Structure formats: C-alpha cells, structure tokens
Amino acid sequence: MDFFSSPDLWIAFLTLFALELVLGIDNVVFISILTGRLPEHQRPKARIVGLSLALVMRIVLLVVASWIIGLTATIISIGSADALAISGRDLILIVGGLFLVYKAVTEIHEKLEGGEHEHAAGGAGASTFARVIVQILLIDAVFSLDSVITAVGMVDQLAIMVAAVVLSIGLMMVLAGRISDFVNEHPTVKMLALSFLVLIGSTLIAEGFDVHLDKAVIYGPIAFAIAVEALNLTYRKRQAAREGVPRDPVRLHSRYSDD
C-alpha cells in the first residue's frame, strides 16, 4: 500500500521504467540486427528468446544486487600516481563495448560489401540460430549490468525494480516485431541503427575506462538523427504517392536467401 500512497516511490518507478525502456530499445535494435541474419521463419523465435533472456538476467542480477555492487571494487590498477583502476564491471563494459562495435562494423561491411557467398544451406540455420542467441546473451549481460547498477543506486526496494524491468521488457516484446521489421525494411534506418550501436559501444568502452559521458550527449544526437530520417521517409512516401510510382529503396546484401 505504501507504493500507491508515496509519490517518491511512483517517481522512482517511472524513472526506472523510462531507463529500462531506453535500454530495452537498444537491446531490440541489436537483436533485430542479429536476427536479420537468420532465415525469416526463425526471426520471431530468436527475438522472443533474446528478450526473455534479458528479462531473466536482469531479475537475477537484481536479486543478487549485493554481488553486483561488489563488481565495482578495483581488480586491476595501472600506474602508481593517479592510477587507472579497473573493476569487474569496467571489464564487462569494455569487453561488451568492443563486441558491440565489432558486430556493428562487421554488419555494415557485409551489408554494403556483399556476403552472398555465405548463404546458408541445409542444417546451417540451426547452428547460426545458436550463435545468434549466444551473441544476444552476451550483449544482454552488458546492458543488464549497466541498468541494474543504476537501478540499485536509485531504489532500494526490489519489488519496484523488478516491476519496472518486467513492464519495460514486456512492452519491448510486444513492439519487437514491428521495430525489427521497420529497421530491416528501410536500409537508411538500418545503417543509422548500426551507427548508433557503434556510438553506444564506444560509450560503454569509455565508461569502462572511467570516462563518464552525459547520456544527453549520446541520446540527443541519436534522437535528432531519428527525427531527420523520419522526415526523409515521410517526404519520400508523399513524393511517391504524388507521382503514382512506388520507389523501392536500395536493397542491402542479405546473408541468407529467402529459401
């Protein structure tokens, strides 16, 4: 009953929900990029599995919050005076950021330079599905760790943290298919999304080295770029409607054939 009568708890819940929603969108974009490499019939299943893993991982990390806080203890110290102290959390952020940058740049290369020689055949799809899930699990761990540490610093009530996580990821599960289809159907949006992942990965690396960046500096340009692209898509759609001739976008290379 305290929750319903306490404005402070409501504010904490809504703040956490907004935070988890932003991180959830990052997760969905990354998942949509990875699942786009799978055959069509496997993509919905991979999205649900990926987001379910994110949900379970964040709840587990919240339950063992004391262990998470312990990850901030220094395990590597470089230099003597004003030494660079690296904790377990920092290592996870650095490795996760490097992985995110690597995957985004690799995907940009394959989409633009071509990868038709890598079309799947026979039983390759199942093996690739497993690899995609492993990659999603790795990046889920990075996003989950960052969000849980922030959540623990804001709220000390487990029920509120879990509720914010469940509702935000539940909403992402509902919207994941639409977001993924939209990203994959519009090449410019997909390139923007990949560029955003490079930016977010670079931010994670910087935070791992104790270089803290204001989130507004990161998400402000991202929001502006999305707004500009939305205007471009709207203009293009209206122009095609006036001319009565549909315009197909440039088709990026696909790792797998429709067959």
Q: Tell me which H or E stretch contains 125.
A: helix 124-154
Reading the block at residue 71, the tokens are 């990850």
Instruction: Report whether 93 contacts 146 (CB < 8 A).
Output: yes
- Domain count along the chain: 1
In a domain, 128, yes or no: yes
**Predicted local confidence at residue 120, as pLDDT:** 40
Note whether residue 58 is domain-resident.
yes
pLDDT, residue 247, reads 65
How far, in Å, CA of 213 to CA of 9, rounded? 27
Tokens matching residue 240:
């095609």
Q: What is the pLDDT of residue 131?
A: 84
Is 250 domain-assigned? no
> How many C-alpha atoms does 233 have within 13 Å on its Cβ side?
15
In the numeric block, which tokens belong to residue 137? 């699990």
d(CA 162, CA 155): 11
**Tokens 């209206």 appear where?**
238
Domain-located, residue 56: yes
The answer to whether 45 touches 189, Cβ cutoff 8 Å, is no
Residue 248 located in a structural domain = no
- SS3 (DSSP) at 85: strand
Q: Domain limits at 236?
A: 2-74+86-243
- CA dist 222 and 208 (Å) reads 21
166 located within any domain: yes
Give the model's pLDDT for residue 248.
Answer: 65
Alpha carbon 215 to its chain's center = 15
Rounded to 5 degrees, what angle do the CA atoms 218, 98, 27 make? Answer: 60
What letter would DSSP give residue 159? H
Separation between Cα atoms, residue 128 and residue 254, nearest integer Å:
14
SS (H, E, C) 75-106: EEEECCCCCEEEEHHHHHHHHHHHHHHHHHHH
Instruction: Say if 135 falls within a structural domain.
Output: yes
E strands in the chain: 74-78, 84-87
The per-residue pLDDT string of the chain (259 residues; one tens digit each, 9 = 90 and over) reads 455 566 777 777 787 787 777 767 777 877 887 887 788 888 888 888 888 888 888 888 777 766 666 666 777 777 665 567 788 778 878 888 888 888 888 888 877 776 544 444 444 444 478 888 888 888 777 777 766 766 666 666 777 778 888 888 888 888 888 888 887 778 888 888 888 888 888 888 888 888 887 777 777 888 888 889 889 888 888 887 887 766 666 666 655 544 4
* Residue 103 covered by a domain: yes
109's CB contacts (< 8 A; 6+ apart) are: none
